[in-house]
Copies of this chain bind each other. A is one copy, B any other.
Amino acid sequence: MKNQTYRMTMLFDFYGELLTPRQKEFFDLYYNEDLSLAEIAENNGITRQGVRDVIVRAEAAMQEVEDKTGIIRRFEAQRPHLDAIESAAAEIATTNDRRYSDPRIEELTSRIRGELTALKD
């Protein structure tokens, strides 16, 4: 199941709070804390298959919300625009460095990059 960790992490980041406490706990232990199904099973006194079922249902619930709303897709669609802004700001900074050495332009391009970092968090 762990070959889709990035997708699972995104689902959990956006929709984790919609899960039941138990779904949330097992999902987090498995995908974020990297415990095995067997370890979670043992710690909770249930079967490995029981743990798996809880996690699979959690995933299905979150994926259903995403399939309906497309919210993660929407966030991810921002990425190329942010990258284009970053690359334009970098080129302005380089041009300014080479030709004009204007300290205000240097400050402004560096501010743009700082804001982009905040946006990508």
Contact = CB atoms under 8 A, between A and B. Distances in A.
Interface of A: 14-15, 17-18, 65, 68-71, 78, 81-82, 84-85, 88-89, 91-92, 95-96, 99-100, 102, 104-105, 108-109, 111-112, 115-116, 118-119
A15 B100 contact: no
Copies of this chain per assembly: 2
A108 to B, nearest CB: 4
A51 to B, nearest CB: 24
Contacts of A118: 81
Contacts of A70: 17
Contacts of A116: 81, 85
A84 B111 contact: yes
A111 to B, nearest CB: 5
A88 B102 contact: no
A38 to B, nearest CB: 31
